[in-house]
Amino acid sequence: MEFNYDKNRIWLANEDGDAIAFVDFPEFEPGKVEVTHTVVDPSLRGQGVAGKLMEALADQLSKDGRKAELTCSYAIKWFAKHPELQDLLIDPAAEAKKAASITGSACGIPRHRS
């Protein structure tokens, strides 16, 4: 699986070049991003694509020296399951609190506008 990378997005394209899975993480301050959406086409669900997107995101944040705030419910849950990556979060305690209160699967309203 080969992902495409932009400064604020990682995605998987189909043979026509259309994004069929992606994670968006716009930068709202230098060195700080908000993970707003993780989307996977229904045809890819159950194949671990969202988790692979999160791994790619964590690698990219680490390489760039950026930290994340999480709005996306999937990202919140994923980072909660990976305590070894808490140093990539702006406020790990706040993210843990969000994880404990998630009841659905919809992403929250982005807090920052780029």
Report pLDDT digits (tens) over 50-109.
Answer: 999 999 999 999 999 999 999 999 999 999 999 999 999 999 999 999 888 876 665 656
pLDDT confidence of residue 1:
80
pLDDT confidence of residue 61:
98
Report pLDDT digits (tens) over 10-36.
Answer: 999 999 999 999 999 999 999 999 999
Provide the sign of the torsion angle of the four alpha carbons 31, 32, 36, 41, taken in this order. Answer: positive
Domain boundaries, the chain: 4-101
Fold of 4-101: Aminopeptidase (3.40.630)
26, 112 contact by CB (below 8 A) = yes
Residue 37 pLDDT exceeds 60 = yes
Cα separation, 44 vs 50, whole angstroms: 9
